[in-house]
Amino acid sequence: MNSYMFRQGCRPVGDFRILQIIEFLNLMKKAFRIDAWYDDRNRPVDTSHDYLYPMFQKRIDKVFPGIGVNKDFFSIPPRNRDDNTVRFEIHTGTHPEEIFIDSYDISIGAARLVPNCSYLRRSIQIFQPFEAYVAESRNEDFLDAYNREQAIPKFDKPAVIRGFHYLDEGIARSIGGIDYCLKAPAWKVERFCQGVLIQLVRGLFDSDNPEHLRIQKKTMQYFGLL
């Protein structure tokens, strides 16, 4: 089944970013029109500092404390999960000297569940990632996106340009700089947050649409990624 995911990658700072996570979770309640988040034990999650900080603190690895912690949250209790379940996959608290990054991802699922991009834009403003994008599973497989990313040291440049794709100034510089990005042959490219936001097409990218694929190919060629 084709599905969508919103990914955000942040340079590690050695902090859980609890305040940002709280704002993020509360924002996405509105985006997905849900009343609560649930943990992997089917318990409702209190989005407060006093609740979340100990939760993350308990998950620190005693042998490798610098690698950060993983925590998932769900839009319904996991025991009841179905095709409408939205899953938040958080990796946070990584120390700067580690090779890993912090990530704040959402496994959304079907196209009909993808929220308005205004919520995604606000999420980018909250975390200020070096890169954020909406990935479509079929398109990711077609472009071999995972292996492309693994071949890039330290996530220094984008591997693929997705339908909705944010790059901070440093990552934009790796493919020509912000001014060069602004001239890309996409539907809309704009300065945003600390970098540039590329939208290949109006609305949600669909790899079943030949015109969407044509624009993606042309844009990736423009940036020397194909």
| Residue 168 within any structural domain of the chain | yes
List pLDDT tens digits, range 78-92. Answer: 999 898 999 999 999
Residues facing 140 on adjacent strands = none
Give the 3-state secondary structure of residue 96. coil
Query: What pLDDT band is residue 76 in, cutting at 50, 70 and 90?
Result: very high
| Residue 140 within any structural domain of the chain | no
Q: d(Cα 128, Cα 195) in Å, to the nearest integer?
A: 9
3 & 87 share domain: yes
Q: For all residues of the chain together, what is the average pLDDT?
A: 95
113 & 179 share domain: no
Given 77, 104, 129, the domain boundary residue is 129
12 & 112 share domain: yes
25 & 113 share domain: yes
110 & 202 share domain: no
Nearest Cα to 87, choosing from 96, 77, 97? 77
List pLDDT tens digits, range 20-73. Answer: 999 999 999 999 999 999 999 999 999 999 999 999 999 999 999 999 999 999
17 & 121 share domain: yes
Given 77, 102, 129, the domain boundary residue is 129
Q: d(Cα 170, Cα 17) in Å, to the nearest integer?
A: 21
Q: d(Cα 183, Cα 148) in Å, to the nearest integer?
A: 24
106 & 158 share domain: no
| Residue 135 within any structural domain of the chain | no
What own/partner pairs with CB < 8 Å and gap ≥ 24 does 54-60 have?
56/16, 56/18, 56/92, 56/93, 57/16, 60/93
Tell me the average pLDDT across 121-126: 98
Q: d(Cα 76, Cα 216) in Å, to the nearest integer?
A: 34
153 & 106 share domain: no
125 & 152 share domain: no
| Residue 139 within any structural domain of the chain | no
pTM for the model stands at 0.94
Share of the chain above pLDDT 90, in %: 92
What CATH number corresponds to the domain at position 106? 3.30.530
How many separate domains does the chain show? 2
- Residue 171 is part of which domain span? 146-226
Nearest Cα to 198, choosing from 173, 162, 170, 223? 162
What Rg do the C-alpha atoms of the chain give, in angstroms?
18
Q: d(Cα 73, Cα 88) in Å, to the nearest integer?
A: 5
List pLDDT tens digits, range 138-185. Answer: 999 999 999 998 888 777 899 999 999 999 999 999 999 999 999 999
Residues facing 125 on adjacent strands = none
120 & 165 share domain: no
Alpha helix locations (H) across 77-116?
none
